[in-house]
């Protein structure tokens, strides 16, 4: 028997937020400037943004850069007895136990288990896999204790020296540890399904020669994941369409409210912004926008532009081999002579954050009480006078013993840098400091071969400007760019990012303690002390924290861009569209 609704009753349902209207499928369209490269181990931002819909990590980072458990049932720490040291002397080792969620399924219905975590680690360990394994190289093994528990065992000192005598020559008897241990597989963007990948590369991924088969496999275009969406169509060069699995997933932050997500490939930002204002797309992702678009974005009706402090901080590195720049008074004077607020307004339309420290303000390690330099040309002039650099007639470029206060100032020609460097030149001229701008191609500046004259590793600049990209752990970052062991030289194969040649024994001691420390409270205290040293010595001068720029319809709810590598789709399951 068929039942027909009376017209009056039907009208009431349609006008009242009825069950019928609630069942109307919701679709959100995102404009990407670039086509994703792949889902498995994406190497581009666009790839990561779409992979977030399909795959999950063990532990994620939210928009405040706080770790939270995803496939892990809880985050290991010394406080919950999931982290311990075992053994004696040089055979002592760090053991991390990670409980896993027991109610997670892959999109094909198979259960997620510890086997998937072990297989992902084995896959990463294959030299042909292409994974960055900075943390994972310190692991001796990853073992399944049961379906819902995995154990990460780090190398002992003896094991480390036997494995890599040169790398661990100064290890002593201390066990190998890593401050990022609680992420499990920190360098894995996701955990992958063993039951699918073994069909492609076999049961021994560590030694398989079939790694390249991923690119041409069905898995590359039809991935199986634990995430809230499945790929339903990939129209190469045009769009990718995802469909909700339609269930609340225990590892996610809610049941998806959006039934379909479409990523349109729109290389021209004018096209994507026009589509946004016309309601054809609801979000323009960060890969197609930057702060220079602010004058347009801020005027678009019905559009909310967001400028989230990112993880790339523009800075100036001083070459401390220069006798002039070796004087801290000169470096501090340069800092006082720069009006970074004015730089932000003119170059970034006020959308960047002025960096007050070598640690971003969003970081757990940031010390808001650390002293920092603000624009004060009077103080800059006093410091230069004190250092013996005089200005003839009170104007012009300063000199001392017949030498002009003049520096080679290098950077790349990319994006905003030429205009920023020109402003820096003008501002420093006001305090009698001359900088001669040299534009160096990125390919030359960041070449690790000393045969390239303008490569940073040759350290032939006076001042160089570029951006460091901060990770979750600024202590690990600083080992690379501020430890004396990281000064590029022939002796260390020109490895390391301490291009200014900074040396401070207490800084080196703190960085070593930070790398070996497991207690978060201790590490925060040590990071605060380190920041005080950096601000006093000023081997690098932070300028601006570049913003992550996105634009969406004002109807988009729970959209929370993050400086984390996962990008803005990290919480896709929470997004919703309010009614027009």
CATH code for the domain defined by 310-547: 3.10.105.10
Find all residues with CB under 8 Å of 287, minimum gap 6, and list them: 32, 33, 34, 45, 46, 49
Average pLDDT score over the chain: 92
**231 Cβ contact partners less than 8 Å away, ≥ 6 residues apart:** 39, 54, 221, 222, 223, 240, 241, 242
Phi and psi at 30, nearest 5°, equal -115, 135
Beta-carbon contacts of residue 563 (< 8 Å; ≥ 6 apart): 65, 308, 309, 310, 311, 360, 362, 470, 548
453 contacts 460 by C-beta, under 8 angstroms? yes
Cα dihedral 264, 267, 271, 277, rounded to 10, equals: 50
Q: What is d(CA 60, CA 68) in angstroms, rounded to the nearest whole number?
A: 5
CA dihedral 531, 537, 539, 541 (to 10 degrees): 70
Q: What does the pLDDT look like over 195-227, one tens digit per residue?
A: 999 999 999 999 998 888 887 888 888 899 999
The shares of helix, strand and coil residues in the chain, as percent rounded to the nearest 5, are 30, 20, 45
Which letter does DSSP use for residue 100 in this model? B
Tokens of 121: 């680690």
Q: Which two tokens stand for residue 241?
A: 């369409």
Residue 128 has pLDDT above 50, yes or no: yes
Selected residue with higher pLDDT from 169 and 115: 115
- Looking at residue 210, its pLDDT comes to 87
Using DSSP's 3-state secondary structure scheme, residue 106 falls into: coil
pLDDT tens, residue by residue, 469-526? 999 999 999 999 999 999 999 988 899 999 999 999 999 999 999 998 888 899 999 9
- Residues sharing a CB contact under 8 Å with residue 17, sequence separation 6 or more, in sequence order: none
Chain segment 31-53, per-residue pLDDT in tens? 999 999 989 889 999 999 999 99
What digits encode the pLDDT tens for the residues 222-280?
Answer: 899 999 999 999 999 999 999 999 999 999 988 999 999 999 999 999 999 999 999 99
Q: Does domain 24-33+227-282+555-577 have CATH number 3.40.1160.10?
A: no
Strand partners, 438: 410
Q: What is d(CA 410, CA 464) in angstroms, rounded to the nearest whole number?
A: 5
- Is 335 strand, coil or helix? helix
Please give the Cα distance from 481 to 56 (Å, whole number).
Answer: 31
58-218, superfamily in CATH? Dipeptide-binding Protein; Domain 1 (3.90.76.10)
Task: Give the C-alpha separation, 291 to 547, whole Å.
Answer: 7
Looking at residue 161, its pLDDT comes to: 93
Global pTM reads 0.91
Residue 1, pLDDT score? 32
The ranges assigned to domains in the chain are 24-33+227-282+555-577, 58-218, 310-547
pLDDT of 8 higher than 80: no
d(CA 142, CA 154): 9
- Cα separation, 304 vs 51, whole angstroms: 25
Name the token pair of 57: 């990590």
């Amino acid at each position: 028997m068929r039942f027909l609704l009376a017209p009056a009753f039907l009208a009431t349902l349609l006008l009242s937020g009825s069950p019928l209207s609630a069942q109307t499928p919701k679709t959100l369209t995102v404009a990407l400037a670039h086509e994703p490269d792949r889902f498995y181990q994406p190497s581009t931002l666009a790839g990561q943004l779409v992979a977030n819909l399909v795959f999950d990590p063990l532990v994620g980072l939210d928009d405040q850069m706080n770790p939270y458990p995803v496939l892990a049932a809880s985050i290991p720490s010394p406080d919950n007895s999931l982290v311990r040291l075992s053994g004696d002397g040089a055979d002592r080792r760090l053991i991390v136990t990670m409980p896993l969620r027991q109610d997670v399924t892959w999109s094909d219905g198979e259960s997620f288990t510890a086997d998937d975590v072990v297989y992902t680690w084995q896959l990463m360990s294959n030299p042909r896999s292409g994974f960055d394994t900075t943390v994972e190289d310190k692991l001796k093994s990853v073992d399944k204790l049961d379906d819902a528990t995995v154990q990460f065992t780090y190398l002992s000192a003896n094991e480390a020296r036997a494995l890599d005598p040169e790398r661990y020559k100064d290890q002593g008897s201390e066990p190998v540890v890593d401050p990022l241990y609680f992420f499990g597989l920190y360098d894995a963007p996701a955990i992958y399904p063993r039951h699918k990948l073994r069909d492609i590369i076999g049961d021994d991924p560590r030694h398989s020669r079939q790694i390249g088969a991923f690119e041409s496999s069905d898995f590359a275009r039809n991935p199986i994941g634990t995430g809230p969406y499945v790929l339903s169509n990939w129209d190469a060069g045009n769009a990718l369409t995802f469909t909700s699995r339609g269930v609340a997933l225990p590892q996610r932050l809610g049941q998806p409210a959006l039934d379909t997500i479409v990523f349109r490939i729109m290389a021209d930002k004018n096209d994507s912004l026009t589509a946004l204002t016309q309601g054809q797309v609801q979000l323009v992702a960060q890969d197609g926008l930057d702060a220079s678009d602010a004058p347009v974005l801020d005027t678009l009706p019905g559009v909310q532009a967001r400028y989230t402090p990112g993880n790339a901080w523009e800075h100036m590195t001083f070459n401390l081999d220069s006798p002039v720049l070796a004087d801290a008074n000169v470096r501090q004077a340069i800092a006082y002579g720069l009006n970074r607020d004015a730089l932000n307004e003119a170059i970034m339309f006020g959308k960047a954050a002025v960096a007050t420290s070598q640690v971003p303000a969003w970081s757990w390690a940031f010390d808001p009480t650390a002293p920092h330099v603000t624009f004060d040309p009077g103080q800059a002039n006093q410091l230069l006078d004190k250092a013996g650099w005089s200005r003839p007639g009170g104007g012009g470029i300063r000199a001392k013993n017949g030498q002009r206060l003049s520096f080679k100032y290098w950077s790349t020609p990319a994006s905003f840098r030429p205009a920023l460097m020109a402003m820096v030149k003008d501002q420093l001229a006001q305090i009698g400091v001359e900088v001669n701008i040299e534009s160096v191609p990125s390919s030359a500046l960041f070449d690790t071969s000393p045969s390239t004259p303008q490569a940073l590793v040759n350290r032939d600049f006076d001042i160089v400007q570029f951006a460091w990209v901060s990770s979750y752990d600024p202590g690990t970052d600083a080992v690379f760019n501020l430890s004396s062991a990281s000064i590029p030289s022939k002796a260390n194969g020109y490895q390391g990012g301490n291009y200014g040649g900074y040396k401070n024994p207490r800084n080196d001691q703190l960085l070593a303690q930070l790398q070996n420390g497991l207690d978060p409270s201790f590490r925060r205290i040590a990071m605060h002390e380190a920041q005080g040293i950096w601000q006093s010595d000023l081997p690098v001068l932070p300028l601006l924290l570049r913003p992550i720029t996105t634009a969406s319809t004002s109807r988009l709810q729970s959209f929370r861009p993050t400086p984390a590598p996962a990008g803005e789709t990290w919480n896709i399951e929470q997004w919703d569209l309010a009614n027009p």
